[in-house]
A and B are shown apart, each in its own frame.
Chain A
């Protein structure tokens, strides 16, 4: 399995992003500050006069940052009423990430990201019919173990009005290898109230499925993916910022899941996504409201909408962010609860079905002195076909899961 879960962008610890709304796109743009100036600047962050940071040059990060992050993703077992055969236990994934990023000279930065995913458990093999006539899941039997290691290097150049980065990464696991290159750039308008950003990426993946607990009929396949993104963020006022982004992704090659018995997907896959974000900072409670919406549509007939609401509350050196996310998806054209193998394309993968999902979670970050930050995050994801805005029969393998994360970041001048 190939799961991309790169580390999040490093959060600024300048008063834990208290001026969240308006300085967010500028976090990296602050010129290097001494510890004394950071200390004094932090004391002022809440004042409106300092929430529109004067226009200034983009500059490499002022610090070298080293981070370690561990996430545990744990799927609930399959319900007995949905199960026909095999292991009812599903996936657990341990994700460990390490990164280091620092300035090189006056105009460059370099970052190294390493991520390891260790995955155990079973996955749905195919959907059949139970004795009571209801659809049920045949699981992959014995537990699968897999390990994925991804290494990425990013170099970034900063100039007066923007910055540009180049990333090369490689991911390897028993049955999957991926090499990706990406370029991105962002630039600011004269008054620094608007930031444009764009990126291009390309990856070449090779699948060599392992023969294990279930028969696999694929020896080696390839997949190429190209993606483009264009976005703009606009400061609306001292305390509000909005962001719009549009992405397009095209994949060509083997897109089916080799570990599913009945899975034949088209050889091409086009996706578009439109994302909207809004942040409103409130001075008196020292907090910000975070609202995000994302539309996704693809050439397989899937449409989805995601709405997320969050509240980032500063409390002294703590930042607590509870959030709620709703997701609704329309099924792929070729999805059926039980795969129709007479069709040209077919799949019974629950991820292609119509469903709705709710995620509730919270992030807690605390600055430990000037240099260390501890972050904890936990979320619960639950899904149900009836929560979807779209019609479609429920896939019996719909999954609920827990995810927990702990990370520690160290910054030094």
Chain B
């Protein structure tokens, strides 16, 4: 689901729960609904409808959920000085992600004018992309939003101990049934092991990274994160993980960090003020999780990240 495996663990040791089937049906329905609405790969999705109508003069009506996600994307666009831009998907035409292709300057020149959230004609109940060929893509936030939706539904069912993993992003509800925190590993991009293991209660951890997909250009491996202003891959961190109460905000902060250079990424993470871990482009690891001072602050303020080595 949502571009990767989905895993839900419900621990009933502390509080029995036996009404699984209706809950799982509801969760599956929710995920399917989100995919149907927001997937750019489905021609019948709301996103595809909006994209198809680009430059046609026809606006598309949207509901509160869609407009809220667009508002969020707009806030992130503004906060990141335009680096996070849901209209930047059109740049994929200039870069062949599937086959590790090249960018043609001509294609970039064609695509770049169609990039820019500020070009979008957007009201709370309708959206219109004014240029033919413009696209929006909520892929950068929908997976994390879906994880939060699943967590909210599970909480609403009265469950106080659960773990949700959706394509690498994790939300934990409470601790484990035995009272101990959940143990969540952060994947090491250079091996099949973990960079470290976090002990988490009531938290979300989202990871964004350049290791998963890369573009080869003139023999060099480049990031699949594209700068929407230049159209070129960003030479930024290899991986960034962020902790928050919400997976969506954690993922958004991590994604924007990956769109920046190492030093700017660090400044961005510090501005966000959430616990984070970053593997810089040189492979060096820095974080606020293993630093004793930061860890203490995190423990008292967030009550979540406890590090166990």
Contacts and interface: CB of A to CB of B under 8 A. Distances in A.
A57 B158 CA distance: 19
A40 B244 CA distance: 12
A291 interface: no
B273 A33 contact: yes
Given A34-B273, A49-B145, A56 B302 contact: yes
A383 B220 CA distance: 82
Interface in B158-216: 158, 160, 173-174, 202-204
Given A37-B274, A40-B249, A50-B148, A59 B75 contact: no
Contacts of A32: 273, 301
B298 to A, nearest CB: 9
A50 B297 CA distance: 24
Nearest to A237: B156
A42 B72 CA distance: 9
Contact of B303 (A39, A46, A56): A56
A48 B69 CA distance: 12
A54 B75 CA distance: 22
Nearest to B147: A49
Interface residue tally of chain B, by bracket? 35 or more
B155 A54 contact: yes
B72 A44 contact: yes
Contacts of B71: 43
Interface residue tally of chain A, by bracket? 20 to 34
B79 A39 contact: yes
Given A31-B303, A44-B248, A191-B174, A49 B152 contact: yes
Contacts of A57: 302-303
A190 B174 contact: yes
Interface in B293-309: 297, 300-304
A291 to B, nearest CB: 23
Interface in A36-92: 36-37, 39-44, 46-57, 59
Interface in A1-56: 31-34, 36-37, 39-44, 46-56
Interface in B269-289: 271-274
Contacts of A47: 64-65, 68
B246 interface: yes
Contact of B151 (A41, A42, A54): A54
B152 A238 contact: yes
B258 interface: no
A343 interface: no
Nearest to B14: A190
A294 B127 CA distance: 47
A59 B151 contact: no
B265 interface: no
Given A49-B148, A56-B245, A191 B158 contact: yes
B108 interface: no
B202 A46 contact: no
B259 to A, nearest CB: 15
A54 B64 contact: no
B112 interface: no
B202 A50 contact: no
Given A44-B72, A46-B68, A191 B160 contact: yes
A31 B302 contact: yes
A57 B68 CA distance: 27
B152 A52 contact: yes
Interface in B48-84: 64-65, 68, 71-72, 74-76, 79
Interface in B251-275: 252-253, 271-274
Given A191-B160, A284-B64, A40 B76 contact: yes
A107 interface: yes
A406 B131 CA distance: 48
Contact of A34 (B145, B148, B272): B272
Nearest to B153: A49
Q: Most B CB atoms within 10 A — which of A43, A46, A48, A53? A: A43
A19 to B, nearest CB: 12
B211 to A, nearest CB: 25
A50 B174 contact: no
A50 B245 CA distance: 10
A56 B173 CA distance: 10
Nearest to A41: B249
B301 A49 contact: no
Given A47-B65, A54-B245, A283-B64, A37 B273 contact: yes
B149 interface: yes
Contacts of A237: 156
13 contacts: A31-B302, A34-B272, A44-B68, A44-B249, A49-B145, A49-B148, A49-B151, A50-B246, A160-B303, A190-B14, A191-B158, A191-B174, A283-B64
Interface of A: 31-34, 36-37, 39-44, 46-57, 59, 106-107, 160, 190-191, 237-238, 283-284
Q: Can you list the 6 inter-chain pairs with the closest CB atoms, starting with the nearest?
A: A34-B273, A57-B303, A106-B300, A49-B152, A43-B72, A191-B160
